[in-house]
Amino acid sequence: MSRWRWSVSALVLVSASAVASPTQDYVLNCMGCHGATAEGVPGKVPPLAHTLLQFMRSPAGRSYVLRVPGASNSRLSDVQLAAVLNWIAGNFGSVTLAVSTPPFTAQEVAATRHTPMASLRATRREVLKELAASGPAPSEDY
Amino acid sequence: MHRLDRIFEQSSRSLAQRTSRRSFVAVLGQILTGSLLLPLLPIDRVSRAAAASLEPDAAPPPPAHKSPATAAHQAGSDDPQSCDYWKYCAIDGFLCSCCGGSSHSCPPGTAMSAVAWIGTCHNPGDGRDYIVTYNDCCGKTSCGNCGCNRNERERPLYRLLRNNDINWCVANADSNYHCTVSVILGLAEKDQK
Enumerate residues 6+ apart whose C-beta is below 8 A from A31. Answer: B118
C-alpha span between B20 and B24 (Å, rounded): 6
CA B87 from chain centre, in angstroms, equals 11
Catalytic one of B126, B136, B168, B191: B136
The ipTM is 0.74
Q: B135 CB near a chain A CB, below 8 Å?
A: no
Cα of B122 to nearest chain A Cα, Å? 15
Active site residue B168: no
- For the cut 60, the answer to whether the pLDDT of residue A55 exceeds it is yes
Q: A68 CB near a chain B CB, below 8 Å?
A: no
Q: What is the mean pLDDT of residues B83-93?
A: 92
Q: What is the pLDDT of residue B185?
A: 94
- For the cut 70, the answer to whether the pLDDT of residue A103 exceeds it is yes
The partner residues of B123 in beta bridges, in order of sequence, read B128
Q: B181 CB near a chain A CB, below 8 Å?
A: no
Q: A60-64, A129-133, B24-28: which has the minimum mean pLDDT? A: B24-28
Contact B101, B179 (CB under 8 A): yes
Higher-pLDDT residue of A61 and B52 is: A61
Phi, psi of B111 (to 5 degrees): -125, 145
- For the cut 60, the answer to whether the pLDDT of residue A111 exceeds it is yes
Q: What is the pLDDT of residue A137?
A: 87
Q: A21 CB near a chain B CB, below 8 Å?
A: yes
Within chain A, what is the greatest distance between any pair of CA atoms? 41
Q: What is the pLDDT of residue A8?
A: 40
Amino acid B97 reads S
Q: What is the mean pLDDT of residues B116-133?
A: 92
Give residue-wise pLDDT tens across range B58-78: 444 444 344 444 454 555 578
- For the cut 90, the answer to whether the pLDDT of residue B145 exceeds it is yes
- For the cut 50, the answer to whether the pLDDT of residue A117 exceeds it is yes
Contact A136, A54 (CB under 8 A): yes
Nearest-by-CA chain A residue for B170:
A44
C-alpha span between B184 and B69 (Å, rounded): 22
- State whether B118 and A31 contact (CB < 8 Å): yes
Q: What is the pLDDT of residue B190?
A: 67
Q: A1-10, B90-99, B131-140: which has the minimum mean pLDDT? A: A1-10
pLDDT band at A30 (very low <50, low <70, confident <90, very high): very high
C-alpha span between B69 and B181 (Å, rounded): 18
